[in-house]
């Protein structure tokens, strides 16, 4: 099988996914989720014309000719209802958010007035009709669709939901994700330090990448490179909506992951992507008939490379977008920005390369410099990175000072951005 391009592999994955079912959540627990129902306004807000300032509600015609003295007929605080109509020569003292009384068509802020006596005020300058009046329904009108299906629930959206008194509503369910590490050389977190072993970092780094999406994954532990043991672990993993397996996906004689998952009924879509790091990436699906309790698109299985940086990059580029898609999110990929390359990069054409970079800002914009050795085993250079610089597959190297695309390691793209473009 040939190597797929990164974008082709991303498309194959997204084409195999459907959004998960919906569930009801309470407003207080909903930040980060994605709306599965439309939300409408249940009244006009503000409910009537209100003042935008502390000041005086008046008839603009009374002050059109310049400074004028008016009689203050009442005090209207936020929460009060006016009891009188303002007629010629009159005004009402009004607080921000209080209803503009009948007869008045404008508000003048207190700074532009002068008290003459307890019920007389001097208006220092003319105001136009509607000045500092927030019209009824400016915020929202009764019956308006204020939020649509697919909206990610941000703090601003929470404010809108609270405004329309949506105490609970439908969101898309979060996928249940299992993470399995494989390898005889791996040492578990609770095991004593053995100089001949490699600490299992992948389970935790991948866990954190999944947690950052608001999903609490289940860590299945470490399976040895033994077909029978691996099969047992994989069977458990296939009970989830998504199974991430790290290590054992290459073509070494002890790389049993691919044959074992195929034996368990997983249909492989691809297992090689033309990227660096990350190339032995396998993707397959267990059809839904074999997992009645799982999502209706079945179990998605990602066979990730064992190298710590490779597996993290594969989660960024393939797994996280898939999980966002299952949760109904329309923003699937990380946001990119353009930066100046600080030091030249060598590149052999053939594979898309993701270079870990740190960003700095100066008058000319952003500059990107590699975080150190780019070996796929060096996690510290990932830990120091702000983003992944994308070196197109066809590139023959990039000179210092050239503009490059950097995909950030936090935040998602704007709604109309689809991943990165080479």
Site residues for Mg ion per CB under 5 A:
183, 247-248, 306
| 190/192 Cα distance (integer angstroms) | 7
Of all residues in the shown chain, the one whose CB is closest to ligand AMP is 306
Question: Which of the ranges 101-109, 178-186, 295-303, 357-365 carries the binding residues for ligand AMP, by CB under 6 A?
Answer: 178-186
In the complex, least distance from residue 401 CB atom to ligand AMP, rounded to whole angstroms: 35
Residue selected from 200, 329, 352, 381 as contacting ligand AMP according to rule CB under 6 A: 200
Residue selected from 5, 37, 60, 201 as contacting ligand AMP according to rule CB under 6 A: 201
Q: Does 328 bind ligand AMP (CB under 6 A)?
A: no
- Given the complex with Mg ion, which of 18 and 375 has the nearer CB atom? 375
Helix, strand or coil, per DSSP, at residue 126: coil
In the complex, least distance from residue 205 CB atom to Mg ion, rounded to whole angstroms: 16
The alpha-helical segments, DSSP class H, found in 18-172 are 155-163
In the complex, least distance from residue 373 CB atom to Mg ion, rounded to whole angstroms: 21
Q: Does 246 bind ligand AMP (CB under 6 A)?
A: yes
CA 259 from chain centre, in angstroms, equals 35
Q: Which two tokens stand for residue 378?
A: 């060096």
Question: Which of the ranges 34-42, 180-188, 281-289, 403-411 carries the binding residues for ligand AMP, by CB under 6 A?
Answer: 180-188
Number of chain positions touching ligand AMP (CB under 6 A): 17
Residue selected from 10, 51, 151, 181 as contacting ligand AMP according to rule CB under 6 A: 181
In the complex, least distance from residue 317 CB atom to ligand AMP, rounded to whole angstroms: 17
Residue selected from 306, 321, 328, 387 as contacting ligand AMP according to rule CB under 6 A: 306
| 114/124 Cα distance (integer angstroms) | 7
Helix, strand or coil, per DSSP, at residue 63: helix
Q: Which two tokens stand for residue 386?
A: 């702000």
- Given the complex with ligand AMP, which of 246 and 260 has the nearer CB atom? 246
| 419/416 Cα distance (integer angstroms) | 10
Q: Which does 308 bind (CB under 5 to 8 A by kind): ligand AMP, Mg ion, none?
A: ligand AMP
Is the torsion defined by CA of 373, 377, 383, 386 positive or negative? Answer: positive
* List of residues contacting ligand AMP (CB under 6 A): 181, 183, 185-186, 198, 200-203, 246-248, 250, 305-308
């Amino acid at each position: 099988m040939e190597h797929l391009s990164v974008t082709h592999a991303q498309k194959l994955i997204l084409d195999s996914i459907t959004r998960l079912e919906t569930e009801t959540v309470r407003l207080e627990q909903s930040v980060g989720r994605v709306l599965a129902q439309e939300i409408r306004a249940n009244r006009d807000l503000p409910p009537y014309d209100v003042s935008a300032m502390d000041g005086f509600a008046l008839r603009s015609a009374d002050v059109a000719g310049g400074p004028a003295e008016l009689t203050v007929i009442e005090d209207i605080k936020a929460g009060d209802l006016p009891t009188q109509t303002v007629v010629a020569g009159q005004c009402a003292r009004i607080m921000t958010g209080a209803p503009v009384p009948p007869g008045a068509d404008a508000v003048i802020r207190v700074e532009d007035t002068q008290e003459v006596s307890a019920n007389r005020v001097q208006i220092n300058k003319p105001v136009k009709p509607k000045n500092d009046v927030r019209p009824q329904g400016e915020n929202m009108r009764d019956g308006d669709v204020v939020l649509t299906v697919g909206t990610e629930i941000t703090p601003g959206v929470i404010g809108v939901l609270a405004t329309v008194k949506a105490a609970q509503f439908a969101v898309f369910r979060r996928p249940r994700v299992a993470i399995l590490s494989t390898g005889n050389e791996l040492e578990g977190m609770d095991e004593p330090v053995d100089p001949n072993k490699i600490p299992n970092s992948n389970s935790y780094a991948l866990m954190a990448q999944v947690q950052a999406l608001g999903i609490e994954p289940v860590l299945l532990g470490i399976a040895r490179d033994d077909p029978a043991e691996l099969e047992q672990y994989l069977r458990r993993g296939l009970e989830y909506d998504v199974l991430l397996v790290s290590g054992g996906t290459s073509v070494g004689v002890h790389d049993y992951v691919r044959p074992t998952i195929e034996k368990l009924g997983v249909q492989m879509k691809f297992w090689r992507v033309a990227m660096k790091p990350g190339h032995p990436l396998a993707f397959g699906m267990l059809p839904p008939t074999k997992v009645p309790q799982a999502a209706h698109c079945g179990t998605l299985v990602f066979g990730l490379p064992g190298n710590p940086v490779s597996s993290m990059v594969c989660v960024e580029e393939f797994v996280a977008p898939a999980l966002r898609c299952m949760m109904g999110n329309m923003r699937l990929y990380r946001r990119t920005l353009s930066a100046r390359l600080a030091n030249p990069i060598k590149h052999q054409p053939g594979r898309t390369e993701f270079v870990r970079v740190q960003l700095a800002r100066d008058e000319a914009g952003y500059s990107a410099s590699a975080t150190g050795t780019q070996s796929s085993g060096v996690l510290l250079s990932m830990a120091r990175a702000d983003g992944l610089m994308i070196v197109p597959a066809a590139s023959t190297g990039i000179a210092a000072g050239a503009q490059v695309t950097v995909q950030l390691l936090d935040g998602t793209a704007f709604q109309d951005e689809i991943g990165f473009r080479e």
